[in-house]
Chains A and B, each alone.
Chain A
């Protein structure tokens, strides 16, 4: 039992890294413009689909198609913000919910229309490779996904901390009026931030396609997970998203063996409730 538990913790931790990257995208979007992106899971699905199709049609390894996912999802996020979100940025929250929910429906159903409801998966030469650490066995693609996810999260952190653009993004999130007054064109920062958030989740999609099946409706559970994570970690907090991702990953996977795999989100939701009982603004919330 202990080794089974350790096994669950280890694989949950690996998936948690990817969750962290995905949730970082969501928390960035929320932190900068206070918009909840209900199409987040569908953007994950698009990231998976981009890598799936590049693999299936052109034989490109999923890891090599990550930059393509990042680029295309950045553009998608940029234009969604520019043309759909920006006009209603100062409208009430339920307007934003309608818009992003609408985007999610359009994305999922376009996928359904384009390539049908079938479950699709990518099988590479390394799909079934494993690593042994003591008694624990880890799937190689999950280890790679975890490492890449941490790497991208680190890159995003550097971007936000060290670059002029990153500082302008953080300033706009912190105080939009003051950002305007120092000469930051906040209306240009918003689509870029949305694009970066979408790129994070697009990369996450590419990272999981070697071990996670693609269907047009794979998105909503990911949206739920991402929301659980950022509420647990603190809305708008980047470190909260990463730590929350790891926690939720572990909770789901331990929950899956202690309860049953269809009840895995009971574990993460319980964790969420517990955290909110003691820290109503989340672990790193302000």
Chain B
């Protein structure tokens, strides 16, 4: 579904991603784990068109997307839920969701998708006229996911969905991600919470200093000594 071949990404003159290649098949949950500053968020921003690679290829459903704008990429079927949620905090819950379906293709089906999102997150329907900034952390993350789903994505990019949430809420969040996946959305998950992330993933990649150093199934990576060394300090 998504194929990345040898991309090099820079911030100005600073190279952040080195020769990254990965692929995601339809229906998978793929995790990218790695320490702070490893380049995980940069990779997601490159996929969603906020950044463009200096070289290398990105293909989504067979189409090259490395030179497309964020709007075109949303339209193509990739929805990016950024780190820190980035809600429209002064707008209502409902307005946030409506804006999630801003691109023409999603806008036509806005009503049905909204009903689906409300079935998945009943709390959002209860709070639909509330200002988004006044929701609790867990509710804000649900709204962020809901807003991402409103674009009717084939592939959902999730950046640190568990960030800043209470442990109980985190567990819940990963259940939600699994459920979204069961309904047919492929998921690329970036997480520092590697136990939960690899636990629900079909496959994963380990990113270190802008390079992919390991890949494998979720279970393999969890057991891998390198992972334990790098992230658990064993």
Query: Which residues of chain A (135-193) have a CB below 8 Å from chain B?
Result: 164, 167-168, 170-171, 174-175, 177-185
Q: What 0/1 readout, one digit per residue, does chain B (69-82) give for beta carbons within 8 Å of chain A?
A: 11100110001101
Contact A184 B86 (CB under 8 A): no
Say yes or no: is B180 at the interface (Cβ < 8 Å to chain A): no
What number of A-B contacts does a CB cutoff of 8 Å give? Answer: 64
Within 8 Å by CB of B100, from A168, A170, A182, A286, lies A182
Contact B91 A167 (CB under 8 A): yes
Contact B69 A178 (CB under 8 A): no
Contact B91 A182 (CB under 8 A): no
Within 8 Å by CB of A181, from B70, B89, B91, lies B70
Contact status of A175 and B74, CB under 8 A, knowing A167-B98, A183-B102: no
Rounded to whole angstroms, the CA-CA distance of A85 and B70 in the bound complex is 22
Contact B88 A175 (CB under 8 A): yes
Please tell me the number of chain B residues within 8 Å of chain A, measured between CB atoms: 25
Rounded to whole angstroms, the CA-CA distance of A173 and B95 in the bound complex is 14
Contact B48 A181 (CB under 8 A): yes
Could you tell me the distance in whole angstroms from the C-beta of A168 to the nearest C-beta in chain B?
A: 7
Within 8 Å by CB of B151, from A164, A182, A185, A286, lies A182
Contact A177 B86 (CB under 8 A): yes
Say yes or no: is B99 at the interface (Cβ < 8 Å to chain A): yes
> B88 to chain A: which residues have CB within 8 Å?
170-171, 174-175, 178-179
> A168 to chain B: which residues have CB within 8 Å?
99, 102
Contact A185 B98 (CB under 8 A): no
Contact B89 A182 (CB under 8 A): no
Say yes or no: is B200 at the interface (Cβ < 8 Å to chain A): no
Contact A180 B50 (CB under 8 A): yes
Within 8 Å by CB of B50, from A170, A177, A182, lies A177
> B48 to chain A: which residues have CB within 8 Å?
181
Contact status of A183 and B91, CB under 8 A, knowing A168-B99, A171-B99, A177-B50: no
Rounded to whole angstroms, the CA-CA distance of A170 and B48 in the bound complex is 22
Contact A175 B86 (CB under 8 A): yes
Please tell me the number of chain A residues within 8 Å of chain B, measured between CB atoms: 17
Say yes or no: is B203 at the interface (Cβ < 8 Å to chain A): no
Q: Which residue of A is nearest B86, CB measured?
A: A178
Rounded to whole angstroms, the CA-CA distance of A182 and B95 in the bound complex is 12
> A182 to chain B: which residues have CB within 8 Å?
74, 99-100, 102-103, 147, 151
Could you tell me the distance in whole angstroms from the C-beta of B111 to the nearest C-beta in chain A?
A: 14
| Most B CB within 10 A of own CB, among A170, A179, A180 | A180
Rounded to whole angstroms, the CA-CA distance of A180 and B90 in the bound complex is 17
Q: Which residue of B is nearest A187, CB measured?
A: B69
> B9 to chain A: which residues have CB within 8 Å?
none
Rounded to whole angstroms, the CA-CA distance of A103 and B201 in the bound complex is 56
Contact B82 A183 (CB under 8 A): no
Contact B91 A170 (CB under 8 A): yes
Contact B86 A183 (CB under 8 A): no
Say yes or no: is B87 at the interface (Cβ < 8 Å to chain A): yes
Contact A174 B50 (CB under 8 A): no
> A171 to chain B: which residues have CB within 8 Å?
88, 91, 95, 99
> A175 to chain B: which residues have CB within 8 Å?
86-89
> B151 to chain A: which residues have CB within 8 Å?
182-183
> A174 to chain B: which residues have CB within 8 Å?
88-91
Contact A183 B71 (CB under 8 A): yes
Contact A180 B98 (CB under 8 A): no
Within 8 Å by CB of B74, from A164, A167, A170, A181, lies A181
> A179 to chain B: which residues have CB within 8 Å?
88, 99
Within 8 Å by CB of A185, from B71, B79, B80, B107, lies B71
Within 8 Å by CB of A184, from B80, B90, B102, lies B102
Q: Which residue of A is nearest B48, CB measured?
A: A181
Q: Which residue of A is nearest B71, CB measured?
A: A183
Could you tell me the distance in whole angstroms from the C-beta of A15 to the nearest C-beta in chain B?
A: 30
Rounded to whole angstroms, the CA-CA distance of A167 and B88 in the bound complex is 10
Rounded to whole angstroms, the CA-CA distance of A167 and B98 in the bound complex is 9
Could you tell me the distance in whole angstroms from the C-beta of B88 to the nearest C-beta in chain A?
A: 4
> B75 to chain A: which residues have CB within 8 Å?
183
Contact A183 B70 (CB under 8 A): yes
Q: B interface vs A, CB < 8 Å? A: 48, 50, 69-71, 74-75, 79-80, 82, 86-91, 95, 98-100, 102-103, 107, 147, 151
9 residue pairs A–B, Cβ–Cβ below 8 Å: A167-B95, A171-B91, A174-B89, A174-B90, A175-B87, A178-B82, A179-B88, A180-B70, A183-B75
Nearest first, the 5 A-B pairs at minimum CB distance are: A183-B74, A178-B86, A183-B103, A183-B71, A174-B88
